Each structure stands twice: as structure tokens, then as C-alpha cells.
Amino acid sequence: MRIDGSEDQVMNGHFFGSLMMVAVLYCISFSVVARDYVDRDDVRIFIDEMVDEYQFSREKLESWFAQAKKKTSIIDTISRPAEKTLT
């Protein structure tokens, strides 16, 4: 999966997807009121780290976080314990 459209920046799709899920859940988990995540200090720090350490596109990350919306029903669902399965 290409991060910023350049030919030389290709990351494993699974790693990228997992990383973005963790980032979004991290940001949402500390939010009391839904607002633009891109304005949050913890998100700014995360974006800076992703740009500096992994050469992500700052513009793309800011765009994604600007579009993020808190979905309480999703947070509630993933916060419940998993169903037990027979082994």
C-alpha cells in the first residue's frame, strides 16, 4: 500500500492497517466529546512521529484525522469481552 503516492514508499498492508486502527482507537479512547481530532495535542504528536519516523505524508494523515468521527456504538462493541469458544 502506498503511503503518499511515491514509488519508493511501500509498506506492508497489514502493518499499515493495524497501525492506523491502533492510532484511531487510541485517539478515540481519550475523547470525551467528539471534535476534530487533528486539533488534539496527542494526535499532533502522533502525526509528527509518523512523519519523522516512517515518512508518512503529513497532509494525508491530517486529512484522515480531520475526517474521523467518534462512533460510540463501535467503541462499546469492541470494549465488551470476547465470547468464549470451546477448544
pLDDT tens digits in sequence order for the chain, 87 residues long? 445 554 444 455 567 667 777 777 666 655 444 457 888 899 999 999 999 999 999 999 998 888 888 888 888 888 888 877 776
Contact predicate 27/46, CB 8 Å: yes
Residue 50 burial (CB count, 10 A): 19
Q: Residue 48: its pLDDT value, please?
A: 96
